[in-house]
């Protein structure tokens, strides 16, 4: 009888030890699996494929994992988070522009005109396609006229324009020039839009007059970028 009790007790103890060991292994495995999942909340719904592919994490169009670090869900979350950060940065820049005085805003405008005139003059000499040369000529001519009007306005208001202008790098190809013009014209339109909301009637009238010209510059640059590609 005693022998039977000893055997029974040994079996029960063995089962208990095995059960505890299995539980610990399952818990550790679960933790390892959970640690692979990136928890980023998407800020924007359904970002495009190109955004997802550019978001990092070694993601490609052929991705097939249902969940985890290599999944489409995680790719979307990463891309959405990147878009959210970019939108926050853009909003901050917009708010900075809105705090500028009229004098500071006019100086920003003058700097933008000088940069586009300089870059367009260079592109007019180095472009390989006639339509790019024609566009560069239009940009240089239009901005030269706009700059004359801007200087007249600042003279009437006794505003001194900054003489030193930091020019950006010279575009090496026709496509580089067009891309630069797309970005530059977006920035200029943003500045002039702020000016169009000014309480100063002369500044408001000046910016409203130029905005259609600047928007045309942007539209042509976007069309040229599609043609070159």
What pLDDT, on a 0 to 100 scale, did the predictor assign at position 228? 84
Only one residue has tokens 């000499």, namely: 125
- The helix (run of H) or strand (run of E) holding residue 215 is helix 201-228
What pLDDT, on a 0 to 100 scale, did the predictor assign at position 184? 93
pLDDT digits (tens, 9 = 90+) for 5-62: 555 555 555 554 545 555 455 444 544 444 444 444 444 455 555 555 554 444 444 4
- Phi, psi for residue 71 in degrees, rounded to 5: -95, 165
Task: Examine residue 4 and state whether it is found in any structural domain, yes or no.
Answer: no
Residues 222 and 182: their CA atoms lie apart, in Å, by 6
pLDDT digits (tens, 9 = 90+) for 140-149: 999 999 999 9
Range of the domain at 87: 35-92
Only one residue has tokens 């500044």, namely: 203
Tell which of 49, 65, 92 closes a domain. 92
Of 23-32, 114-123, 160-169, 191-200, the one with minimum mean pLDDT is: 23-32
DSSP 69: T
Residues 189 and 2: their CA atoms lie apart, in Å, by 96
Q: Do 119 and 211 have their domain in common?
A: yes
What pLDDT, on a 0 to 100 scale, did the predictor assign at position 100? 85
pLDDT digits (tens, 9 = 90+) for 95-108: 466 788 899 999 99
Contact 184, 129 (CB under 8 A): no
What pLDDT, on a 0 to 100 scale, did the predictor assign at position 162? 78
- Number of neighbouring beta carbons within 10 Å of residue 1: 5
pLDDT digits (tens, 9 = 90+) for 63-83: 555 555 555 555 545 544 544
Q: Do 107 and 85 have their domain in common?
A: no
Q: Do 83 and 117 have their domain in common?
A: no
Predicted TM-score of the model (pTM): 0.58
Task: Examine residue 191 and state whether it is found in any structural domain, yes or no.
Answer: yes
Q: Do 166 and 199 have their domain in common?
A: yes
Contact 121, 83 (CB under 8 A): no
Q: Do 87 and 134 have their domain in common?
A: no
pLDDT digits (tens, 9 = 90+) for 145-183: 999 999 999 999 999 887 766 566 678 899 999 999 999
What pLDDT, on a 0 to 100 scale, did the predictor assign at position 31? 46
Tell which of 52, 70, 92 closes a domain. 92
Residues with Cβ < 8 Å from 38, sequence gap 6 or more? 57, 69, 74, 77, 78
More confident residue, 86 or 116: 116
Q: Do 108 and 201 have their domain in common?
A: yes
Strand partners, 71: 65
Residues 107 and 162: their CA atoms lie apart, in Å, by 7
Q: Do 189 and 109 have their domain in common?
A: yes
Name the domain count of the chain: 2
What pLDDT, on a 0 to 100 scale, did the predictor assign at position 172? 87
Q: Do 113 and 180 have their domain in common?
A: yes
Of 121, 155, 163, which is closest to residue 140 (Cα–Cα)? Answer: 121
Contact 165, 113 (CB under 8 A): no
Q: Do 144 and 116 have their domain in common?
A: yes
What pLDDT, on a 0 to 100 scale, did the predictor assign at position 130? 93
Q: Do 114 and 223 have their domain in common?
A: yes
Q: Do 160 and 223 have their domain in common?
A: yes
Task: Examine residue 13 and state whether it is found in any structural domain, yes or no.
Answer: no
């Amino acid at each position: 009888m005693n022998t039977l009790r000893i055997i029974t007790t040994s079996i029960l103890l063995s089962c208990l030890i095995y059960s505890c060991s299995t539980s610990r292994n399952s818990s550790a495995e679960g933790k390892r699996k959970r640690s692979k999942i990136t928890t980023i909340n998407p800020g924007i719904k359904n970002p495009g494929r190109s955004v997802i592919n550019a978001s990092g994490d070694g993601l490609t169009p052929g991705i097939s994992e249902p969940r985890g670090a290599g999944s489409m869900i995680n790719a979307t979350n990463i891309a959405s988070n990147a878009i959210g950060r970019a939108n926050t940065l853009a909003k901050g820049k917009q708010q900075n522009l809105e705090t500028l005085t009229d004098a500071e805003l006019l100086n920003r405008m003058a700097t933008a005109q000088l940069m586009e005139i300089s870059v367009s003059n260079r592109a007019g000499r180095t472009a390989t396609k006639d339509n790019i040369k024609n566009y560069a000529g239009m940009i240089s001519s239009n901005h030269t006229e706009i700059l004359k009007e801007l200087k007249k306005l600042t003279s009437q208001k006794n505003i001194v324009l900054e003489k030193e202008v930091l020019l950006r790098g010279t575009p090496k190809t026709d496509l580089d020039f067009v891309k630069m013009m797309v970005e530059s014209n977006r920035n200029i339109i943003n500045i002039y839009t702020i000016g169009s909301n000014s309480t100063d009637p002369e500044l408001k009238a000046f910016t409203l007059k130029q905005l259609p010209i600047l928007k045309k510059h942007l539209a042509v640059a976007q069309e040229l970028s599609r043609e070159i590609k």
